[in-house]
A and B are shown apart, each in its own frame.
Chain A
Amino acid sequence: MLGPPSFIFRSVVRFLFFLVNVFALYLLLRGHNLPGGGFIAGLASAISLILLSLGIGLAELHRVMRFDPMRLATAGLALALGTGLIPVGMGRPFLEHFDGYLEHVPLLGRVHVGTPLLFDFGVYLVVVGITCKVIFVLGKSTQRLVALVAEDAARYASPVERPIEETEEEGGRNGS
Chain B
Amino acid sequence: MLLLALGLPMVGSPFLALAGRRLGARVGWLALILPVMSTVLLGVLAMDRSLPARWGVELPWVPTLGLNLSFLVDGLSLMFGLVVSGMGCLVIFHAIFYLGTDYAHLGRFYSYLALFMGAMLGTVFADHVVLLFLFWELTGVTSFLLIGFLHGEEKSRVGARQALLVTGSTGLALFAGVMLLQRATGTSSLSVLLERGLPWGERGGELSLAMVLMLVGAFGKSAQFPFHFWLPNAMAAPTPVSAYLHSATMVKLGVFLVARMYPLFVVSPLWLPLLGTVGFTTMLLAAVLALVSHDLKSILAWSTISQLGFLIGQYGLGPVGGVGHDQLHLLNHVLYKGCLFMVAGVAMHATGLRDVREMGGLFRRLPLLGMAAVLAGGSMAGLPGTLGFLGKEAMLADLFQPLRDGASPWVLYAVGCAGVASVVKIAFSLRLVTGVFFGKEPDGVALQYHAPGLGMQLPALLLAAGSLLFGVWPGLLDGLFGQWAVEGLNRPKPLAVWHGWSVELFTSAGMVMMGVLLHEVGRRTGWRGWRIPGVLQADKAFEWLVERFQGWTKVWTRGLRADRPADHLPIVVTFVVMALGAGLLGLVPGLAERLWPEDVGMDPLRTGVAGLIAMTVVGVLVLRRWTAQLISLAVSGFLTCFYFVLYRAPDLALTQILVETVTLILVLLLLARFPNSAQVGEETRRPGRWTHYFHIGLSLATGCVATGLILVVTSAPHPEPLGARYLEQTVPLAKGSNAVNTLLVDFRGFDTLGEVTVLVVATLGCLGLLMRYKRTPEETRQGPLGPPGFGVEEQRED
A11 interfacial contact with B, CB 8 Å: no
Residue of A nearest to B783 (CB): A144
Residue of A nearest to B757 (CB): A77
Interface residue? B483 (CB, 8 A) = no
B771 partner, pick from A62, A80, A116, A148, beta carbons under 8 A: A148
Do A32 and B773 contact each other (CB < 8 Å), given the known contacts A50-B662, A142-B672?
no
A156 lies within 8 A of B734 (CB): no
Q: Are A33 and B749 CB-contacts (below 8 A) given A77-B760, A161-B772?
A: no
A17 touches B (CB below 8 Å): no
Answer yes or no: B774 CB below 8 A from chain A CBs. Answer: yes
B731 to nearest A CB, angstroms? 9
Residues of B within 8 A of A131 (CB): 662
CA distance A38 to B337 in the complex (A): 58
Q: What mask results when residues 18 to 46 of chain A are scored 1 for a CB within 8 Å of chain B, else 0?
A: 00000000010001111111111001101
Task: Check if B683 is an interface residue, CB within 8 A of chain A.
Answer: no
Which residues does chain B contribute within 8 Å of A137, judged by CB atoms? 767, 770, 790
Contacts of A94 on B, CB cut-off 8 Å? 750
Asked if residues B669 and A149 are in contact (CB atoms below 8 Å), the reply is: no
B659–A70 touching, CB < 8 Å: no
Contacting pair A133 B738 (CB below 8 A): no
Inter-chain contacts of A129 with B (CB < 8 A): 760
- Would B666 and A138 count as touching, CB distance under 8 A? yes
Contact check, B780 vs A76: say whether CB atoms are below 8 A apart.
no
Query: Once the chains bind, are B741 and A76 in contact (CB under 8 Å)?
Result: no
B661 interface residue, CB < 8 Å from A? yes
Which residue of the partner chain, among A43, A159, A165, contacts B662 with CB atoms under 8 Å? Answer: A43
Also in contact, A135 and B662, with CB within 8 A (given A32-B738, A157-B774)? yes
Does any Cβ of A come within 8 Å of B793's Cβ? yes
Listed stretches B223-231, B606-614, B648-656; interface member: B648-656
Q: Quick one: closest A residue to B763, CB to CB?
A: A130
Minimum CB–CB distance from B527 to chain A (whole Å) comes to 35
Question: B309-328 toward A: CB 8 Å interface, digit per residue (1/0)?
Answer: 00000000000000000000
1/0 per residue, CB under 8 A from B, across A57-96: the answer is 0000011000000100110110011001000000000110
B633 to chain A, nearest CB (A): 18
B774 & A163 in contact (Cβ 8 Å cutoff): yes
CB of B793 within 8 A of CB of A146, answer: yes
Query: For residues 454 through 502 of chain B, which have their beta carbon under 8 Å from a beta carbon of chain A?
Result: none
Q: Is A95 a contact partner of B749 (Cβ separation < 8 A)?
A: yes
Query: Which residue of the partner chain, among B658, B669, B745, B772, contacts A44 with CB atoms under 8 Å?
Result: B658
Is A56 an interface position by the 8 A CB rule? no
User: B650 to A47, Cβ gap below 8 A?
Assistant: no
B549 to chain A, nearest CB (A): 15
Q: Given A142-B784, A148-B770, A40 and B152 touching (CB < 8 A)?
A: no
Asked if B791 lies at the interface with its beta carbon under 8 angstroms from chain A, I say yes
Chain B residues with CB below 8 A from A122, complex form: 756
Q: Which residues of chain B (699-753) have a CB below 8 Å from chain A?
A: 734-738, 740-742, 744-746, 749-750, 752-753
> In the docked arrangement, what's the CA distance between A129 and B79, Å?
51
User: With A35-B651, A148-B770, A163-B789 in contact, do A84 and B753 touch (Cβ < 8 Å)?
Assistant: yes
B residues in contact with A27, CB < 8 Å: 654
Contact partner, B741, options A31, A81, A99, Cβ 8 Å: A31
| B-side contacts of A162, CB under 8 Å | 772
- Which residues of chain B from 191 to 212 have any CB-CB distance to chain A below 8 Å in the complex? none
Indicate the member of A63, A148, A159 with the most B CB atoms within 10 Å: A148
Q: Which residue of A lies closest to B796 (CB)?
A: A149
B521 contacts A by Cβ under 8 Å = no
Q: Is the CB of B792 within 8 A of A146?
A: yes
Closest-by-CB residue of A relative to B753 is A80
Interface code B146-159, partner A: CB below 8 Å = 1, 0 otherwise? 00000110000100
Q: Chain B interface (Cβ within 8 Å of chain A)?
A: 151-152, 157, 554, 650-651, 654-655, 658-659, 661-662, 665-666, 669-670, 672-673, 734-738, 740-742, 744-746, 749-750, 752-753, 756-757, 759-760, 763-764, 766-768, 770-774, 780, 783-784, 787-796, 798
14 contacts between A and B (CB under 8 A): A33-B738, A43-B655, A73-B763, A80-B753, A97-B734, A116-B741, A116-B745, A130-B763, A138-B670, A149-B793, A156-B764, A157-B774, A160-B151, A162-B772
Q: Which residues of A contact B (CB under 8 A)?
A: 1, 27, 31-40, 43-44, 46-47, 50, 62-63, 70, 73-74, 76-77, 80-81, 84, 94-95, 97, 99, 112, 114, 116, 119-120, 122-123, 126-127, 129-131, 133-135, 137-153, 155-165, 171
Besides A36-B651, A40-B654, A123-B752, 19 other A-B contacts (C-beta < 8 A):
A33-B736, A33-B741, A35-B651, A35-B654, A46-B662, A47-B658, A73-B760, A129-B760, A139-B669, A141-B791, A148-B790, A148-B791, A150-B792, A158-B768, A160-B151, A160-B152, A163-B774, A165-B787, A165-B789
